[in-house]
Amino acid sequence: MAVDTTSTDAAAEERTSHRRLPAPGKPVPLSTYRLQLGADLTFDDVAARVDYYAALGVTHLYLSPVLQAAPGSTHGYDVVDHDRISDVLGGRAGLERLADAAHAAGLGMVVDIVPNHMAVPTPVWHNRALWSLLAQGPDSPYATWFDVDWSGGDGALLMPVLGSRIGDLIGSGDLTVDEVEIDTGDGPELRTALRYFEHVFPVRAGTESLPLAELLERQHYRLAHWRVGDEELNYRRFFDVGTLAAIRVEDPEVFDATHALILDLLATGIVDGLRIDHPDGLADPAGYLERLAEASGNAWVVVEKILAGEETLSPDWETAGTTGYEGLWRLQSTFVDPGGATSLAIILEELTGDSVGDLPALVEEAKREIVAGPLYAELDRLTDLAAEVCRADIRLRDHTWRAINECLRELLIAFDRYRAYARPGLETHATAVQAMHQAAARARLRLDETRWATLDLVVDLLLGREAGSAGRTREARRDELVVRFQQVCGAVMAKGVEDTAFYRWTHLTSLCEVGGEPAHFGFSPDELHAFALRFGQLTPAAMTTTSTHDTKRGEDTRARIGVLSEHAEEWAQTVRELHRLSAGYRSKRVDGRTENLLWQTLVGTWAHEAPIALERLEPYLLKATREAKTHTTWTAPDERYESAVLSLAREAVADPAVLNVLADWNNRTAADVRAATLGTKLVQLTLPGVADVYQGSEIVGPTLVDPDNRRPVDIDALRAALEHLDGGGNPHDLGEEKLLVTSRALRVRRDHADAFVSEHAGYLPLPTSSGHLFAFARTADGVPRTVTLATRLHHRLHHQGGWGGHRVVLPEGTWRCTLTGAVFSGETPIASLLERYPVALLVREED
């Protein structure tokens, strides 16, 4: 099967594909097991479980961030100290004990790191760098760490933490100057500090005795009402999260200071590789990855990068590849029936008023709201920068602030990916230029003709081109504009699409996933084969995944919802029945989108013949409706609306009639769910790339967005189930069948490494007489070593009479199924291959 490499950038990536592999001798995982560390899963807890992970077949443990995080952190992405391993997790000694235990069991380790931001903790002194900045302002030794615009906020760093306006608090007694015991790294000591309930801020030297109002005026920070942040914030943050302040790792000194410990862990062999959180937020991702590759000796590094649509990884990024979202949506969509799109669209319109063609407009509307609201301050800063550029050049002075603002706004809304990949002073890749011009064409349709000349100017500035007077390209403000626009682009995409539009769009909610493309309803086997071939050639050591700590639904939930596409007409009738049954207790306040989301969520999380527990369902519905931002939000919750939604959920899961309908649906679709669950898992684990298993996903457990997907895993139950299977026992249920598939696939990867992650590994689609079988071989030096077979769209297959006379041509040799022990060769009936399970994993017998 040919791979299209005709574009300039694709050809460049082909030529530099060797850069996607670590240096010779550097460890490369064959598979990883993601562990969400915390107070309930410490280094010593993990060390006690390494026997299970090794028996499962993974080669590397994949740890969530391990550096010191903010007090009470549940995830570790809110780092406060880059020089310390988390005390809660067990400190450096605990990490070394875990490394020793893992290495003794034959396992390596990779770790997640967060270069883009640090926490703004409560109290702030937990982050000594930020405390110093607040105390000393631009004179702080850490002033270069943070991305602060000191020209904004009257030369003070905005701290929007107050529950009321500052004028109402002066004299209220809520703001006090006290002697406070803090510890910024040199041990506890008393400091004069400004206190506001649990918040504590340093007092600038020499201002301690001033009247409160004057004292507040004299600080290097400005305390403000929390709502002020979105409009006047003058430090870069992670998306719209004010408690995560961005840091400037593009500064070599900041890079060195924030990476010394991590690089030491690599140099000493405690960890083998890194996962980089959100590189799109960095000023220069390519430069960062170059510096990291040099400092680490070109270790295995993957990036949390979302590639929109057919976008490919920028060829100048020194990385093995991404963490796998571009493969996740394609794989999942291969097990979605495109024939169900129309019937699901009909019930969508009946219930919500949304039509299939409305998705682009819905996305645009959501992005527009984000730019006008939570990211207003970011747009304002971009406009100021561009306006300053124009004011400094007489040829550009007639481009007004307002015109520039409108053009930037429309470009941000029209941009269809997370970044343009322009680097000041360097030539921009052709695909990035094309993406910018396509966005400009869309933006032009939303702008008055009188703004078009300004739009053209803004595009030139954002691409680093000469604009205005001759020779005007490389200037500090122009360079900053290029960089900041790209950083804001990612925030608009993440908050507008993933965290707003994807919670509003309910055509088939399983497609609304991180990095997903819900407009692409269904993916053909040939499309997935083509993707796998290209992936294996260009990023052979990148990750593949089906669940992460950030996915909006776990893989089992998505598989169950995806099966609705196979029963679309029946599901439409089922929704109408559920709508009728719930009419007596469904408030008119509950909109159709939320109702549609609820019914799909209930079938997606149905397990053990019962609905999801309310203590899990209710927080999810609150999060989903607040993220949708249609009736209620995090910053302005509508208690009456939220109460109506939760009341509907409570009544529904207590209604015998509703439960009977859901139970009947579960029974009727069980075989189809089984095929989709096992099929997606096996294919993901055997596709090109480094296969990741999210904690607990080796067994069936329908989960929702965090924190639901971060709940503790019952390791004792998993260990017992694996021992049962390894002892020759048959699986008791779908969960154990999934564990069987996962463990056998991971072990095959481990035992046949050269066919999966190596310069010799290949991918070979296999000819089959049925489109319901997805089949391929993994090869080493062109010789087939393993074969994957997976049933897709089981319901339609069943109605067509099953496999009948359909056959698949196995590569030359004798093949043993790792799931059943049966032996096959040559052209083989599919029915015999898949007699016991809807999937098969074959390994070539030695001659």
Task: List pLDDT tens digits, range 196-208.
Answer: 999 999 999 999 9
d(CA 115, CA 820): 46
Provide the pLDDT for residue 153.
Answer: 65
Output the CA torsion sign for 464, 470, 475, 478.
negative
My answer on whether 275 and 311 are in the same domain is yes
Tell whether 236 and 264 lie within a shared domain.
Answer: no
pLDDT average, residue stretch 770-781: 97
What local confidence, expressed as pLDDT, does residue 80 receive?
Answer: 97
Distance CA 839, CA 73 (A): 40
Residue type, position 511, single letter:
L
* Residue-level pLDDT at 502: 98
Backbone angles phi, psi at 581, to 5 degrees: -65, -30
Q: What is the CATH number of the domain that holds 193?
A: 3.30.1590.10
How many residues are listed for the chain in this entry?
847
pLDDT in tens, 645-680: 999 999 999 999 999 999 999 999 999 999 999 999
Question: Which is nearest to 461 in space by CA: 411, 511, 417?
Answer: 411
Question: What residue has token string 């954002």?
Answer: 462
Mean pLDDT, residues 129-154 taken together:
91
H or E segment and range at residue 81: strand 79-85
Least confident of 469-478, 495-504, 749-758, 814-823: 469-478
Query: Which phi and psi angles does 817 have, rounded to 5°?
Result: -80, 125
For residues 485 and 414, give the distance between their C-alpha atoms in angstroms, rounded to a whole number.
Answer: 13
Strand partners, 692: 32
CA distance 421 to 100: 41
Q: Give 718-750 pLDDT, tens digit per residue.
A: 999 999 999 999 999 999 999 999 999 999 999
Structural contact between residues 539 and 20, judged by C-beta atoms closer than 8 angstroms? yes
Side-chain-side CA neighbours of 389 within 13 Å: the count stands at: 29
Q: What is the pLDDT of residues 246-282, one digit of tens each?
A: 999 999 999 999 999 999 999 999 999 999 999 999 9
**Three-state secondary structure along 194-245?**
EEECCEEEECCCCCCCCCHHHHHHCCCEEEEEHHHHHHHCCECEECCEEEEE
Same domain? 41 vs 78: yes
Are 148 and 295 contained in the same domain? no
- The verdict on residue 472 lying in a domain is yes
pLDDT at residue number 242 = 83
Distance CA(398)–CA(276), nearest Å, equals 43
Q: How far apart are CA 93 and CA 604, in angstroms?
A: 42
Q: Which of 246, 271, 286 is the last residue of a domain?
A: 246
Residue 11 clears pLDDT 70, i.e. is over it: no
Residue 398 has pLDDT above 60, yes or no: yes
What the block records as the tokens of 151 is 């020209």
Q: Is 149 a domain residue?
A: yes
* Overall pTM surpassing 0.85 (yes/no): yes
- Please give the structure tokens belonging to residue 56: 């499962």
Task: Identify whether 735 is part of a domain.
Answer: no
Residues 371 and 481 in one domain: yes
Find out whether 619 and 598 touch, Cβ atoms under 8 Å.
Answer: no
Per-residue confidence (pLDDT) for residue 5, from 0 to 100:
31
In a domain, residue 633? The reply is no
Residue type, 423: R
At residue 847, the pLDDT reads 67
- Is 412 in contact with 436 (CB distance < 8 Å)? no
pLDDT score at 189: 87
Tell me, yes or no, whether 530 lies in a domain: no
**Token pair in block for residue 836:** 């016991």
CATH label of the domain that carries residue 285: 3.20.20.80
8 A C-beta contact, residue 698 and residue 742: yes
The verdict on 371 and 466 lying in the same domain is yes
- Distance of alpha carbon 570 from alpha carbon 677, whole angstroms: 21
- Which residues are registered as beta bridge partners of 60? 32, 108
Has residue 17 got a pLDDT over 70? no
On whether residue 656 sits in a domain, the answer given is no
Q: State the Cα–Cα distance between residues 473 and 463, nearest whole angstrom.
A: 10
Percent of the chain with pLDDT over 70: 97
Measured between alpha carbons, how far is 612 from 188 in angstroms, rounded to an integer? 47
151: CB partners within 8 A, 6+ apart: none
Task: Indicate whether 4 pLDDT > 50.
Answer: no
**pLDDT over threshold 60, residue 114:** yes
Q: Pick the closest to residue 235 from 130, 333, 328, 132 (CA basis).
A: 130
**Tokens at 655, concatenated:** 């209604």
Last residue of a domain, one of 502, 528, 563: 502
Q: Could you give the CA distance from residue 545 to residue 523 in angstroms, rounded to a whole number?
A: 17
Is the same domain home to 289 and 213?
A: no
Query: Diameter of the chain by CA atoms?
Result: 91
Q: 108 and 138: one domain?
A: no
Contact call for residues 808 and 825 (beta carbons, < 8 A): no
The beta strand positions in 737-805, using DSSP E, are 761-765, 773-780, 783-791
Domain co-membership, 105 together with 254: yes
Whole-number pLDDT of residue 18: 52
Q: SS3 for 613?
A: coil
Which segments of 642-736 are extended strands (E)? 690-694
Same domain, 54 and 179: no
Per-residue pLDDT tens digits for 175-198? 999 998 888 777 788 999 999 999
Nearest-10 crossing angle of helices 430-444, 8-15: 150
What is the average pLDDT score of the chain? 94
Rounded to whole angstroms, the Cα distance separating 124 from 130 reads: 7
- Report yes or no: 575 and 599 within 8 Å, Cβ to Cβ: yes
Question: Among 502, 520, 538, where does a domain finish?
Answer: 502
Name the nearest CA neighbour of 411 among 432, 387, 438: 438
How far is it, in rounded angstroms, from Cα 108 to Cα 90?
19
pLDDT in tens, 441-483: 999 999 999 999 999 999 999 999 999 888 888 899 999 999 9
In a domain, 839, yes or no: no
Cα–Cα distance measured from residue 133 to residue 115, given in angstroms and rounded to the nearest whole number: 19
Structure tokens at 756: 């999966």
For 427, residues 6+ apart whose C-beta sits below 8 A from its C-beta are none
Residues 134 and 35 in one domain: no
Give the structural domain span for 485.
363-502
Q: Do 155 and 101 share a structural domain? A: no
In a domain, 764, yes or no: no
In this structure, the dihedral spanned by the alpha carbons of residues 152, 154, 156 and 158, taken in order and rounded to 10 degrees, is: -60
The residues, any chain, with a CB within 8 Å of residue 641's CB and separated by 6 or more, are: 589, 590, 625, 631, 632
- Please enumerate in sequence order all residues whose Cβ is within 8 A of that of 608, keeping only pairs 6 or more positions apart, or say none: none
Q: How many structural domains does the chain have?
A: 3
Query: Is 624:557 a contact under the CB 8 Å cutoff?
Result: no
What tokens appear for 736 in the block? 């154990």
Q: How far is CA 488 from each of CA 365, 374, 400, 492, 645, rounded to the nearest angstrom?
A: 17, 11, 21, 6, 33
Q: Which residue, chain included where needed, has tokens 């939604």?
A: 645
The C-alpha atoms of residue 305 and residue 493 are separated, in whole angstroms, by 12
> Measured between alpha carbons, how far is 840 from 819 in angstroms, rounded to an integer?
7
